[in-house]
Structures are given as C-alpha cells and as structure tokens.
Amino acid sequence: MRKEINYNDYAEELITQLTKGGVFLTVKDQEKANIMTIGWGTFGWIWNKPILMVMVRYSRHTYGLLENAGEFTVSVPLKQNRTKELLICGQQSGREIDKFQTCGFTPEKGQAVTTPVIKECPLHFECRVVYQQAMEPGQLSKEFRAKWYKTPDYHVLYYGEIVAAYLTE
Amino acid sequence: MRKEINYNDYAEELITQLTKGGVFLTVKDQEKANIMTIGWGTFGWIWNKPILMVMVRYSRHTYGLLENAGEFTVSVPLKQNRTKELLICGQQSGREIDKFQTCGFTPEKGQAVTTPVIKECPLHFECRVVYQQAMEPGQLSKEFRAKWYKTPDYHVLYYGEIVAAYLTE
C-alpha cells in the first residue's frame, strides 16, 4: 500500500537520516538496479519544483549508471535499523555484487519512473534528473577540499525533480 | 531574545515559506546591508555540515555584494504576513533604494557572521559561503531553460554552511 505524501512532509526525517547512517540511492541500467548509500544531499524548491539533490563521486558505479539513466529513487529507512545494509551499499561496488540480493532487498516497481524503490524501506522519493553539474574544485573552501577530496575523485551533483513521494507499509 | 534551534528543526517551514511568497536573503557590503527576496533554494547536509543553498541571478545587486561578502543571512517570516515586504525586496533594487528603510525593517547584529538579520522576522539562519558555482545552462532540462531563462541571466548557486540558526521573539 502506497500513501502519497506532500514532498515536504518528511524533509526533516530525510535530512536527519542523511546524517545518521545515510539513505539508499537506487539507479538502474537496462538490466538491473544498483543501490548506493548516500550521506550528503539537499532538499528544496527550485524552478518551481520540489528538488532532491544527490551527489555521486566519479569513481562510483552509480556515476556511470546515473549519467545514462536520467532518473533515480531514494529510499529512506526512517526508524528501521539498517546499519548493515547501509554499510554494504556504501562500501561495496555494484560492479562486483548484486546489492539487492546481498542485502535481501526487493526492488519494487517505481510509480512515476522506471527505477525501482526498495520495498523494505518505508519512505520513498522518485526523481528525474533536471539539472546536473560536476563540482568545480577551485570553488570549494580550502578546508573542505583538503578534508574530503585528497584525490581528484570529486562529486557530480544531480538535481532530481521529485515526481513521486510516498510511504509504504 | 535568541533561542538556538537545531539547524534542521524548521526545514519544512523554511521550504514551505520558499513556495509561499519567499524568504529574505540579506547580504552586506562594507557600508550597509541589502535584502533580496528568494523563492528558490535547498537545505541539507553536505561535507558533514548543514548547508543552505541560495540562488542569485547575475543581474541582481545582491550578486555583486555576495561575490565579495562570502557570507549571508536568511530571515524567514513564518506565519507573519509579509506580502508587501517580500514584493518590495523581490521587485526593487538595492542599487536604488534602502530596503531596510523602505520595509521598516531593523538590521539586527548577526551572531556568528557580520551580516545582520532582520529583527522583525522570527526565524534566522546565518551562513558562510563554502562553495559556489555558476549554472551551466546546457545542463538544465530544456523545458526549464525555456521557461526560466529567456535571457542569459542565469543563477549562481551559493552553498552556505549554516553557522547559526535561531528563533527570535
């Protein structure tokens, strides 16, 4: 059962979960979907649309997928304990393992996009990429650059228009 | 009286207010501060910091100010009716009028930055710019480009680390 929510009703829970272990970003190619844990992102209103911005480093399998897919979903564990799955999806690569299988997760058909969401999570956002931009390293504060980018493995910022937001039971 | 809040406690109110008239962005030069109304922005967690991202078009007086200032504040009307002031700060230019004076607003000393907040508003965020990037027009969806950028007056995106967040009475 899906229960539609206003895109903004769970902004605080989403941001809190980013800071406490992360949320699941799902992106697919023509064959199957892959999950990556993200701990950084922003949420808001741009171009008169609800926008969820996610960041992916060049080195990630998800980067190649997302460049082609043009859409993604975000599934949020909320109060569930998903420490193990968040670690698997953060530290391992979809180039080597099937993360849905390894985590025991079920891909559930998206509502407005063709990318699945994770059935076992209670909160979902479906997004289509409307803007993207690779980071310009020289524009970041020196302190953050030194701390987070010791190699040139920068992030690409993907701005997704939220085309569906809902809770599942 | 200032009452500190967790940066994330009012995310939903902030985003809702963006969509319903806007919020006040204050930026100063060495002499005085100027206010601009913004209706677009995002809120979240990047580089392990709370981040408020605001967008300013090249044509705005605030653009020139913000390029030099490196910091800004956002004051949110919440449930106040500030339709008139939001219109003034959205449609008029600080090159021509003093917006604090025209709106009857009082600049109140910032807590962690030297930019003031607007005393008459109940919710405030103080930010220092840690990243900024001019929009890359070719990367935006054609639909949005046609709708929002009929001239090359694009936005620059300013990512501010939230260094103070509080309510005032």
On chain B, the residues whose CB falls within 8 A of the CB of A45 are 15, 18-19, 39-42
Per the CB < 8 A criterion, the answer to whether B86 and B22 are in contact is yes
Per the CB < 8 A criterion, the answer to whether B168 and B124 are in contact is yes
Q: Specify the amino acid at residue A50.
A: P
| CA B154/CA B55 separation, integer angstroms | 9
Averaged pLDDT score across all residues of chain B: 96
**Among the four given CATH numbers 2.30.110.10, 2.40.30.40, 3.60.140.10, 2.40.30.10, the one describing domain A2-168:** 2.30.110.10
Per-residue pLDDT at B30 exceeds 90: no
On chain A, the residues whose CB falls within 8 A of the CB of B156 are none
Q: What share of chain B is helix, strand, coil (3-state, %, to 5)?
A: 25, 40, 35
Mutation site, A46, A140, A159, interface B, largest B CB count within 10 A: A46
* pLDDT, position B35: 97
Q: Could you report the per-residue pLDDT of B4-20, keeping only the tens digit for each?
A: 999 999 999 999 999 99
- When pLDDT is averaged across residues B42-66 and rounded to a whole number, the result is 97
DSSP B102: H
* pLDDT, position B1: 85
| CA A160/CA A51 separation, integer angstroms | 5
Per-residue pLDDT at B80 exceeds 90: no
Q: Could you report the per-residue pLDDT of B82-92, keeping only the tens digit for each?
A: 999 999 999 99
Every domain of chain B and the residues it spans: 2-168
On chain A, the residues whose CB falls within 8 A of the CB of B55 are 46
pLDDT over 90 for what percent of chain B? Answer: 96
By C-alpha distance, which of B168, B126, B157, B167 is closest to B10?
B167
Residue spans of chain A under pLDDT 70: none
Q: What is the DSSP string of B12-45?
A: HHHHHHHHTT-EEEEEE-SS-EEEEEE--EEEEE
Tokens, residue B101: 């004076």
Minimum-distance CB partner of A131 among B43, B44, B141: B141
pLDDT over 70 for what percent of chain B? Answer: 100
ipTM for this prediction: 0.96
Put simply, the answer to whether A15 touches B148 (Cβ < 8 Å) is: no
Q: 């949020």: which residue's tokens?
A: A76
- When pLDDT is averaged across residues B111-122 and rounded to a whole number, the result is 97
Count of all residues that appear for chain A in the document = 169
* pLDDT, position B85: 96
* pLDDT, position A30: 86
| CA A106/CA A121 separation, integer angstroms | 10
* pLDDT, position B53: 98
Chain B contact for A87 (CB, 8 A cutoff): no
